[in-house]
Every structure is written in C-alpha cells, then in structure tokens.
Amino acid sequence: MDKIETIRAFMAVAQENSFTAAGRRLGISTKLVSKYVRHLESELQTQLFNRTTRSVSLTDVGSAYLERCRPVLEQLDELDSLVRERQGALAGPIRLTAPTGFGSTRLSQALAPFLRQHPDLELDMKLTDNRVALVEEGFDLAIRIGALRDSTLIARKLVDMPLVLCASPDYLEGHGRPQHPRALTTHVCLTDSNQLEVNVWRFRSNDEEHVIRLNGAVQTNSPGALTQLAIGGLGITRSPFYAVEEALENGRLERVLPDYQTDVFAVYALYPPNRHLTRKVRALIDHLAGEFGR
C-alpha cells in the first residue's frame, strides 16, 4: 500500500476529525480511508486515533506523528507544484477558508473567473464564521474581515470594507430614527460577536469621535444573521456593506446616522509564515486583490 497515500488519509482524518469528511475531501470512500489508517497503524504498531461512535480524536502519539508528517507532505506537494508550474500551468489543490456570508457571495464571484482560467486547480473552500487554525487544519490561505487577532500569520490587505449602520423601516417607524450616536443607547442594537469590542461602536463627525457603549440584546458571529434579524425589525445593526447591500437597495433596510462615519474594516488574505507561498496561491491572492480593487 502506498505510504504517501496512507499518510494523506491519516492527515485528512486528523484535520477533519472524521473518516467520512476525510473521504469527501480526498475523493475516496470512507471505507478506503479507514483501510489506509488501519494499515498505517499496523505498520507503526501503534494507535493514532481514539475512536468512538460519535467522535475521532488523535492520541498523543498521533499528534506527534501529525507534526512530523505535515512538513513532509508539504514539501512533496510543493515539488509537484514546481514541476507543473515549470510547464506553465497552475495546477493542484488550494485549501481556503473564509467567512460564510462573504465566501458564498463576493468571494465566490471573484473566484469564478480565476478557476475558469486555471481548470487544473482543485479548490477546497471551507466557509465558517469561526476562527480556523490554518496550520493545524492544513489550509493554504484564509480570507478574513476586520481586526486581525493572530499576529503569527502574514496578512495582505485586499480591500477596505465599510461598515454600515442600518435598520428596517418598520423598526425605525416604531422606535424613532436616531439623530445622534448617543441616541443608540436607547435602542436595541444587534452586535457582531466577532469584533474585539462587541458592545462598543465608534463614530466620527467634524473631527470629533463618539464612543458609544451599547446595551446589545442580541449578538451573533454571522453578519448574514445580523442582516436578517435587522430585516425582521428586531433592532439596529452595524454590518459589512456586502452583507446589507441588497437589502438597502430593495428598501428592506434603511441607513441610520448616514452623516456619521463609523469604522472601516479591511478584507485580508492570510497565510502561515513558515509555509512556502506557491505560485498558484500567490496568483490567487493577486487575482483577488485585483477583483476586489475594482
């Protein structure tokens, strides 16, 4: 049995915490993934995973083995990519993670022409509003919006993303339209738990800054969910423009305090500093910067 394929199966199970998900990722059956892992464990004469009917987790030996395997496979993948790139084509896998709402709309739209141009690329995109550990989970690239918390990653800013304060017409009719940021303290505010200061919104006008501490009744880690809650008339939200653009255009949401500037977040591409940035990943980052810059 091919040693490299058994190691790939082992790493996929470790990163997905699931034999079934590992099989989907590798494009093979769950039965074959299990066979690969059992063969590897038999060959090493040790147990790499703790298995129950509901979960799969690494043993201490498995964790140590994973750390040694990762750079070996990365070097092999880079070698394969180098040969393909010397032939002029971008080819092979790219694992990318991004926020759910942005990834399913603006990012997917931006990716489409790149993938059409390079049909030999294999994109594996995981959309989640939770923070993902790039190295541990084997990702080449992450797209993130807002303040960056992980200083160990290399970041390239792709574009600025304004935040928009808005609410439904029904909510504003029933609760009044705020004329000053201070008035927000008397309103129901829907806040984003991804932010470093969840219940603080900042505004600027005529070189004066207003820092408003909110009594947020509802918070979630999804801008898309905030948008839907605001459309449902539950309060005022502050969301990235991409999440509320359509609702603003069709009138389901209205701008609030449009004469006051609020924060502007950036869209970043992040990648691990200890990983060689292959030509295909570099080309993807350059493409996204161009698409969002337009």
Predicted pLDDT of residue 116: 94
Q: What is the CATH number of the domain that holds 201?
A: 3.40.190.290
Q: Name the CA radius of gyration of the chain, rounded.
A: 23
Q: Which of 51, 85, 119 is where one domain is finished?
A: 85
Q: Looking at the domain assignment, is residue 119 inside a domain?
A: no
* Burial (0-12, 13-18, 19+ Cβ within 10 Å), 249: exposed
Cβ atoms of residues 13 and 112 within 8 Å: no
Predicted pLDDT of residue 154: 87
Q: Looking at the domain assignment, is residue 144 inside a domain?
A: no
Predicted pLDDT of residue 284: 95
Per-position b or e across 87-120, b if 16+ CB within 10 A of its CB: eeebbbebbbbbbbbbbeebbeebbeebeeebee
* pLDDT tens digits for range 208-225: 889 999 876 788 888 889
Domain membership of residue 217 as a residue range? 162-264
* pLDDT tens digits for range 157-191: 999 888 899 999 999 999 999 999 999 999 999 99
How many structural domains are present in the chain?
2
Q: Looking at the domain assignment, is residue 188 inside a domain?
A: yes
Q: Looking at the domain assignment, is residue 287 inside a domain?
A: no
Q: What is the CATH number of the domain that holds 78?
A: 1.10.10.10
Predicted pLDDT of residue 189: 93
Predicted pLDDT of residue 187: 93
Residues in the chain with pLDDT < 50? Answer: none
CA dihedral 230, 235, 240, 242 (to 10 degrees): 20
Predicted pLDDT of residue 268: 92
Q: Looking at the domain assignment, is residue 207 inside a domain?
A: yes
Q: Which of 70, 85, 100 is where one domain is finished?
A: 85
Q: What angle do the packed helices 60-86 and 3-16 form, to 10 degrees?
A: 120
Predicted pLDDT of residue 203: 92
Whether 166 and 256 map to the same domain: the answer is yes
Q: Looking at the domain assignment, is residue 213 inside a domain?
A: yes
